[in-house]
Every structure is written in C-alpha cells, then in structure tokens.
C-alpha cells in the first residue's frame, strides 16, 4: 500500500512568529503515524527556523517553489541546491506560479530536473482552468502538463514522485464562505489520465509507484470523500492548512480511513 500523504501549503500566509505557533500546536496534536506522511510547506522565510523546531518523526518540510539554476546572479531567487537537506519535498508548477507568475511548461520541466538533481522530491501540481474545462480540454491540459514536466527525468527519478491534481477553478479564493467542491468522480477521472500518461512514458510499474494527491478547497468534512477515490494517495490543502483545527481534522480523516482499512498504529 502506498503511504498516504497529507500536505499543507501555507502559501503566503503567517509570519515567523505565527508559523512557529502553528507548528507548535500541530506537533502537540498530531501523532506519529506509520503509514501517513504529514508535510508542511511554509513560506521560504520560515523554512529554516521551522526546521529547527520540527519534530522529524511527525512532519517533513516542503518548499513552495525554488529556482532551477543552482547558483548565480539571479536576484530574489532561492535555488534547490540551497534547499538541500532543509526540505524533503518541493511543490513545483503550482497553478498560482503558472497563472499569477507566468511560469511556463519548460520552466516547470527545468524545476523538476533541478529538484531531482538536488535530491528533493517534487510535488508536481497539474490542473485545468475553468475555461479549459468548459472547452472540454481537461485531458489535454493534464497530458501536456504531466508529459512536459517529466521530460528530463528517468524512470528511476520518478519512483518517489508526487503529482497533485489541483483544478484551478476549485481552489479557494480567500473567501472562507466560498468553496467549490470537485466531484469525486471528476477526481477519479483525472487520476486515471495522470497515471495513463505516466504509463505511456515509463510503464505501468512506475505509474503505480507515483503518489497522486487531490487539492482544491479541501476541508475536514470533504477530505474523506476524496481519500476514498481509488488511486488517490492523499491531499494537498491550502487555506485549511493554516488553521490548526482544520488541518488536524484533515489528518484525522486520513488516519480514520487507514484504520478502517486495517492499518496498524
């Protein structure tokens, strides 16, 4: 059974003090689970202080982004090389990077290579916009995003890879009363497309090893519905992950599900 992965993307929220308080509270509440990995992706600024505070038996760290060159005159950027040993994972190709900061498919591919070159496991985000969905282009968009991102990687490189399906139209927009929930059937369809694309590139075994997550307005009350989708190995939460009760509620949902399936503590 693939390990479940619950990731909290803190986006551009929480200053150093707030981040430290949230981690402290989460560490009190969240236990060590053998078959669930809990990952937090705080802002670049707080990665270092949180790494000192972090209970490594309970949590792993992820970067939300990094630059694909290892070193050089690139004002304002942080490289994957600098993040070596600090983070286990890096989110790459998040839709906010693609759509707010204009990150292109080739740039995402270079970042994937840079992460792997530096021993960091990519959490590749893919997903269609509302316009692409309404035009019936979801499969094509997922195909293009997956295949271009993996272009420079070998079958071995992708063994630990994580891909998150995050339909852009389902991401929360900051309004806590406004949640658009993707239907589990749509998540199931996207999961199949993603694994099919990987199978075409690297074969069935590789496609089975990749962990596929769902992200988009995930809260504790809808978490289980997505976790029950066959082939979905976890969740990538945004807004809910900066709320102590909500994020621990999502982890609880994963815990409950695995216990029902007979996993041991």
Among 197, 217, 246, 248, binds ligand 13P (CB under 6 A): 217
Q: Which of 94, 103, 179, 191 is catalytic?
A: 94
The set of residues, in sequence order, having a beta carbon less than 8 Å from that of 246 and lying 6+ positions away, is: 219, 220, 237, 240
Secondary structure E strands in the chain: 4-9, 36-41, 59-63, 89-92, 121-126, 162-165, 211-215, 234-237
Our finding on whether 163 is near ligand 13P (CB under 6 A) is no
* 3-class secondary-structure state, position 143: helix
The nearest distance, CB 141 to ligand 13P, in angstroms, is 16
Site string for ligand 13P, 38-57 (x = CB under 6 A): --------------------
- Looking up tokens 């994020």, which residue turns up? 247
Q: Which is nearer to ligand 13P, 166 or 191 (CB)?
A: 166
Cα gap 243→21, rounded to integer Å: 11
Residue 156 buriedness (CB in 10 A; 0-12 / 13-18 / 19+): exposed
208: its two tokens = 């089975």
- 4 and 233 in contact (C-beta within 8 Å)? yes
Please say if 103 is a catalytic residue: no
The nearest distance, CB 213 to ligand 13P, in angstroms, is 9
The nearest distance, CB 223 to ligand 13P, in angstroms, is 11
Q: Where does this chain touch ligand 13P (CB under 6 A) — which range of 12-20, 42-50, 142-150, 164-172?
A: 164-172
Q: Where does this chain touch ligand 13P (CB under 6 A) — which range of 21-29, 106-114, 231-239, 244-252?
A: 231-239
Please say if 156 is a catalytic residue: no
Number of residues that bind ligand 13P (CB under 6 A): 14
How many CB atoms lie under 10 A from the CB of residue 227? Answer: 23
Our finding on whether 236 is near ligand 13P (CB under 6 A) is yes
Q: Which is nearer to ligand 13P, 138 or 217 (CB)?
A: 217
Our finding on whether 90 is near ligand 13P (CB under 6 A) is no
Q: Which is nearer to ligand 13P, 124 or 236 (CB)?
A: 236
The nearest distance, CB 91 to ligand 13P, in angstroms, is 7
Q: Which helix (H) or strand (E) holds 192?
A: helix 184-202
- In the complex, which residue's CB is closest to ligand 13P? 238
Comparing C-alpha atoms, which of 146, 234, 138 is closest to residue 189?
138
Comparing C-alpha atoms, which of 91, 87, 98, 62 is closest to residue 215?
91
Cα gap 221→244, rounded to integer Å: 15
Our finding on whether 237 is near ligand 13P (CB under 6 A) is yes
Q: Which of 96, 166, 179, 191 is catalytic?
A: 166
Positions annotated as catalytic residues are 94, 166
By CB under 6 A, name the binding residues for ligand 13P: 9, 94, 166, 171-172, 215-218, 236-240
């Amino acid at each position: 059974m693939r390990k479940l992965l619950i990731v909290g993307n803190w986006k551009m929220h929480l200053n150093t003090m707030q981040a430290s308080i949230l981690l402290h509270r989460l560490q009190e509440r969240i236990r060590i689970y053998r078959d669930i990995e809990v990952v937090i992706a705080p802002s670049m600024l707080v990665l270092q202080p949180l790494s000192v505070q972090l209970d490594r038996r309970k949590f792993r760290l992820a970067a939300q982004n990094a630059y694909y060159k290892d070193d050089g005159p690139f004002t304002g950027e942080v490289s994957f090389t600098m993040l070596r040993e600090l983070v286990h994972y890096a989110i790459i190709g998040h839709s906010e990077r693609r759509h707010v900061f204009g990150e292109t498919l080739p740039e995402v591919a270079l970042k994937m290579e840079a992460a792997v070159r530096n021993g960091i496991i990519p959490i590749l985000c893919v997903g269609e916009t509302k316009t692409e969905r309404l035009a019936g282009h979801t499969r094509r968009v997922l195909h293009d995003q997956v295949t271009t991102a993996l272009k420079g990687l070998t079958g071995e490189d992708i063994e630990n890879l994580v891909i998150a399906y995050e339909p852009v139209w389902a991401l929360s927009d900051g309004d806590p009363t406004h949640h658009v929930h993707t239907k589990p059937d749509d998540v199931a369809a996207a999961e199949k497309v993603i694994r099919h694309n990987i199978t075409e590139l690297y074969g069935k075994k590789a496609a089975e090893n990749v962990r596929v997550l769902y992200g988009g307005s995930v809260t504790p009350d809808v978490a289980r519905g997505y976790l029950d989708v066959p082939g979905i190995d976890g969740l990538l939460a945004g807004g809910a992950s900066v709320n102590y009760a909500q994020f621990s509620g999502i982890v609880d949902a994963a815990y409950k599900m695995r216990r029902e399936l007979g996993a041991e503590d």
